């Protein structure tokens, strides 16, 4: 039975949010993505993607990690960036938009620096709460990457377990962000989609803003051991996927 991603968001926030504190299982790590980026990994998500690489932090978010303030994550991220010479930061691992008070507090601190922050999100909360995108527009160092789970509502539901209507929330996130003037782009998981489906999605993105279609990022499954197990258990097979040691350079 498909679930409501907004209800799951509320349930998850009760486990991973305390005021402006957010639960993380890893506070800072270096990474090759985006040409080099410092990353903190949070706990808890409001989707259940069959290709997700997160294990216990997604499925048992109340039993792993610790709570951190925006200032603590800020210090960890910027410290990691200084050590490795990075100019970009992000929160990843699960869904960073859960706990908006924490995220906005972190962005307020980062806005006083010259670091760029990439907000990777499934967009559900940004599509559900128009004011969230408006608050993001107050910060000049953030770029939002909305990861679309498939190319249409049916694919979205099959891949995430959530009700098909959640796909419209993802597109609405891009609409809200664009209307608020927040720099953003769509990343589309295409490992389970047809070219026809992708072209249909591009038309929908073009209806929101032509730049979203032109700058759409193609995303594919990376076959980490946990991901292979999830896919096998769900009986879902990607048409395009890559071993972690053989990821094309243009996808890094």
pLDDT at 83 (0 to 100): 98
Is 75 or 250 the better-scoring residue by pLDDT? 75
Q: What is the DSSP letter of 19?
A: T
The C-alpha atoms of residue 111 and residue 113 are separated, in whole angstroms, by: 5
Domain count, the chain: 1
Dump pLDDT digits (tens) for 142-158: 999 999 999 999 999 99
Dump pLDDT digits (tens) for 11-58: 999 999 999 999 999 999 999 999 999 999 999 999 999 999 999 999
CATH of the domain at 52: 3.20.20.70
CB neighbour list of residue 62: distance below 8 Å, 6 or more residues apart: 15, 16, 23
**Residue 249 pLDDT > 90, yes or no?**
no
pLDDT at 107 (0 to 100): 98
The C-alpha atoms of residue 215 and residue 202 are separated, in whole angstroms, by: 10
Q: Which pLDDT band holds residue 250 (cuts at 50, 70, 90)?
A: confident
Tokens 């962005």 belong to residue:
107
Dump pLDDT digits (tens) for 95-139: 999 999 999 999 999 999 999 999 999 999 999 998 999 999 999
Dump pLDDT digits (tens) for 162-209: 999 999 999 999 999 999 999 999 999 999 999 999 999 999 999 999
The C-alpha atoms of residue 150 and residue 189 are separated, in whole angstroms, by: 5
pLDDT at 130 (0 to 100): 86
CA distances to 12, 24, 93, 189 from 230, in Å? 21, 22, 16, 16
What is the domain extent for residue 40? 5-251
pTM (2 d.p.): 0.96
């Amino acid at each position: 039975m498909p679930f409501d991603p907004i209800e799951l968001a509320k349930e998850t926030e009760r486990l991973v949010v305390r005021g402006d504190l957010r639960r993380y299982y890893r506070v800072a790590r270096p990474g090759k993505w985006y040409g080099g980026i410092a990353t903190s990994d949070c706990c808890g998500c409001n989707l259940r993607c069959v290709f997700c690489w997160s294990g216990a932090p997604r499925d048992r978010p109340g039993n792993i990690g610790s709570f951190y303030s925006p200032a603590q994550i800020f210090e960890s991220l910027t410290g990691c960036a200084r050590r490795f010479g990075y100019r970009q930061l992000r929160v990843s691992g699960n869904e960073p938009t859960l706990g908006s008070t924490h995220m906005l507090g972190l962005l307020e601190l980062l806005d006083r620096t010259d670091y760029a922050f990439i907000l990777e999100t499934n967009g559900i909360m940004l599509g559900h709460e128009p004011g969230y995108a408006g608050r993001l527009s107050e910060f000049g160092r953030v770029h939002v990457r909305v990861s679309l789970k498939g190319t249409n509502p049916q694919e979205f539901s099959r891949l995430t377990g959530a009700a098909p209507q959640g796909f419209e929330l993802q597109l609405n996130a891009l609409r809200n962000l664009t209307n608020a003037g927040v720099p953003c782009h769509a990343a589309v998981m295409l490992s389970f989609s047809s070219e026809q489906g992708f072209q249909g999605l591009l038309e929908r993105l073009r209806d929101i803003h032509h730049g979203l279609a032109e700058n759409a990022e193609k995303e594919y499954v990376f076959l980490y051991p946990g991901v292979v197990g999830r896919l096998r258990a769900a009986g879902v097979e990607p048409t395009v996927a890559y071993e972690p040691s053989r990821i094309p350079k243009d996808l890094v």
